[in-house]
Amino acid sequence: MFVYRRAVRFAEVDAARLVFFSRYVEYCHDAMEALFAALPGGYEDFTMRRDLGLPTVRLEIEYRAPLRYGDVARLETDVLRVGRTSITLRHRIWRDADDALVTVVEQVVVVTRLSTLVPQPVPDDVRGLFDAHLVPEGAARS
Footprint on this chain of a copy of itself (rule: CB under 8 A): 7, 9-11, 13-18, 20-23, 25-26, 29-30, 33, 43-45, 47-48, 53, 55-63, 66, 68-70, 114, 117
Cβ 54 to a copy of itself, closest distance in Å?
Answer: 10
Q: What are phi and psi of 59, to 5 degrees?
A: -135, 135
Nearer to a copy of itself by Cβ, of 58 and 84: the residue is 58
Half-sphere exposure of 7 (CA within 13 A, CB side): 5
- For 122, which DSSP code? P
Please report how close the Cβ of residue 2 comes to a copy of itself at its closest, in angstroms.
17
Q: Residue 74 or residue 139: which is nearer to a copy of itself going by CB?
A: 74
Smallest gap from Cβ 124 to a copy of itself, in A, equals: 22
List the one residue out of 136, 120, 122, 129 whose CA is nearest residue 33: 129
> Shortest gap between Cβ of 109 and a copy of itself (angstroms)?
10
Nearer to a copy of itself among residue 41 and residue 131 (C-beta)? 41
CA distance 57 to 107: 8
Question: What's phi and psi for 81, nearest 5 deg?
Answer: -165, 135
Q: Quick one: 13 or 75, whose CB is closer to a copy of itself?
A: 13
Which residues, listed in sequence order, are joined to residue 55 by a DSSP beta bridge?
none
